[in-house]
Structure 1
Amino acid sequence: MEEEKMNLRLDIDVQNLETEKLRKGKNKAEKDLDSLKIDYKKLRLSMRTAGLGKTSK
């Protein structure tokens, strides 16, 4: 019985560590996405300012 309790506690600890790892990964991915969005907006503004991206007739 005690061994089973100890195994269950270990399982819970492993689950908690995996959850925390995933949470940190998600936060990093969200920060990276925000950074990419900012870079994209800057690029679009630069292209508009330089007159790029327009088709010539």
Structure 2
Amino acid sequence: MLEIEKIRKEKNKAEEDLDSLKTDYKKLRLSMRTAGLDVGV
């Protein structure tokens, strides 16, 4: 569980530091969901 928390913290930091990356990630997830490729991550 500690590894998951570490990953979440790193993701949050990336979102704060790199807003464009956050936006691109959301667009990618939406595209995957639309295409039926969402693996539920």
Length-normalised TM-score, structure 1: 0.37
Contact 2:29 2:38 in 1 (8 A): no
The secondary structure found in structure 1 opposite 2:30 is: helix
| Structure 1 counterpart of 2:19, from 29, 34, 38 | 34
If asked which structure has higher relative contact order (CA below 8 Å, sep 6+), I would say: 2
RMSD between superposed Cα atoms in Å = 1.2
Residue 50 of structure 1 corresponds to which residue in structure 2?
Answer: 35
Number of corresponding residues:
23
Name the % identity: 83
For 1:44 and 1:34, locate their aligned partners in 2 and report how far apart those are by CA, in whole Å. Answer: 15
For the pair shown, which has the larger CA radius of gyration, 1 or 2?
1
1:52 aligns to what SS in structure 2? coil
Q: Aligned letter for 1:51? A: G
Unaligned runs of 5+ in 1: 1-29
Give the number of the structure whose residues are more often helix, by fraction: 1
When normalised by structure 2's length, the TM-score is 0.50
Structure 2 residue ranges without an equivalent (≥5): 1-16
